[in-house]
Structure 1
Amino acid sequence: MSSSVLSSRRAMPRRPVWMLGGLILMVALIVLVSLGVGAVPIAPRQVSAILSKALAGVDNGDFATNVVLLVRLPRVILGLAVGAVLALSGAVMQGLFRNPLADPALIGISAGAALGAVAAIVLDWHRFGPATVSLAAFAGGLGATRLVQFFASITRPGDTAGLLLAGIAVNALGGAVTGLFTYLADDQQLRALTFWSMGSLGGVTWTQLRVGLPLLLAVVILLPCWSKALNALLLGEAEAGHLGFAVQRLRRTLVALVALGVGAAVALTGIIGFIGLVAPHLVRLWLGPDHRSLLPGAALTGAALLLLADLGARTLEAPAELPIGILTGLLGGPFFLWLLYRSGRGRMEC
């Protein structure tokens, strides 16, 4: 293990490079399919022509062009960014906690974002503007994470387990208050709450992307910069400290970046589960535990999985749209049952 995770100065092996190239091609193909498939089918050649003309500054203004550029392209770009952020955040949390079941929900981001959005819907804050629910969700996610960090710092400073314990408490508190708001909601608000809690890429506009996309891209670019430190953490926090890494500062930085990215993602799409758990596991099975290849591979896999889930959500019951959380749950649940079965059989054979 030590030779594989600490060989940070060596070039990346050929197999991960080839597999990352394959993932890039797969994502490009899924993007092309997502732009063409829907209630209005558009051939791949026509999609390519529309994108080429748009890049050249030519806009025909016909119906197919409007569908691709104004409806589907913002949705696909959001799916790529959110899927990458959720998967990267899951991989980072698993490396930080050295636990394959860790995800951003452990540090209260999802519970806080849900509380913020539910409060905005039930208290009718959206009358102040269409982005109020998203802003409230973003603020709730960051606030919950900051609360977790505060209690972890005063109860078990310097210990990752303190984050976990504080996260459990904040998650429970956020869930209870969210349940109270749900109890107070009327029928129309309950419908909005239910759909938001299951996630969707629908209705996104270029204006929303201009606000949220820079945050998502910043997190996607910055998190892989800590791949060497995460490799060292696989050996333990004490060992990482002996190797020259400031573990406490590293923990604070990574938690802050994850909170920023996941908070922005949840604010734009609602809560989408299992991407942050499934994508890192799949890539770890293919490429191993080296975070130099694991993090970019998880980002690409998460983007692909979310786009596929969104494609199913808007085509399986067309013209109606299924919440993405239903499809990701149907994918993630059996996957983890298989993982449990696989790990259990491995222990029995030993």
Structure 2
Amino acid sequence: MAREIDQAHLLEYTGEFSFDHKLILEFIKTAKPDYDHTDPKTWPLITSAYLNKWLIKPYSGVLMLPPFIAYERSLVDLCVADREDGNVELVREDGVKTVRSRFHHHFPFIYNHNGHKRKFEYMHADHYTSWVFGVTGKVPATRTKGKDTPSASADPFDEILELIQDAQHAHKTDGATSLRAELESAHKDLDESKKRVVAAEAQQKLLDKELTHERRRAEGLVQSKKALKQDLQKAFRGEMEQHTITQKQLERVNRELADTNKLWREATNETIAAEARSKKLEKTLKDRDKDLQVSREQAATLQEQMVKIRNELKKGMEDGGQKRQADSNASSSQKKKVKIQQ
């Protein structure tokens, strides 16, 4: 199968960078007017050399790389090293909710739709079509052949649907049509509620792990930077006590102190960012807890409605049968009376 997109052929990005995904998308649009975040063919490629130069240090993987951009595999490996993949619920541009692998959504050149790492950084037509369809709900044009877009399969009707069909064929209830419509609506709502519950539980676990990871990283970062500053200050004091400071030595010491202060400022900024992310994750987790509770309550209510509909149908079928038996007995008695009179 021919390659639809090869990451190696994408244009390397050299513009402004930000971990804020909205801000960097604006930077990319300015530098690359044909950029479309829903089309990986238009994405720029960010290399480790570029990112490390922009950060003035190697990328550590603490901050999540923004989506809708192609990245060198080594950067993605650092980003996911202390994170776990999982299914997340997303809303396509056509308003339809869908569930897909988090790593595949963020890094389609590196991970496939099952969340497995690709051997090479390219996509065939079916991979490209599937990813774009999951974001937009539309099938993009391709220059190579691939598989068709995945189609959704409908669940079979259960015992309640069979009861409704029997009632319609035997004409045992006048409300069968309306009950069928009510059942279909309740069945659809129940399925959607179950999907929301599953997605919310998965997201809750992911947020719990991510929050714990961010807190530990922030604490470790503060401790390591404090230790570094103390060691440098101690070494400086020892040199001051043992040697006469010449002009050149003084300049060197000043440079070391400036570097230490720079490292301290960077550590402080990263700590602040990590704390802000932790607070945001805590708020998101609380909101997810509320959504999860609501979804569970909705699912329970819909399940009770389904049972109630089934009981009403069974009762309607039994009442209809008793009524026909009574009419049949009355008709037989009338015929006997007519025969006796004759």
TM-score by length of 2: 0.26
The structure with the largest alpha-carbon Rg is 2
Higher RCO, 1 vs 2 (CA within 8 Å, ≥6 residues apart): 1
TM-score by length of 1: 0.26
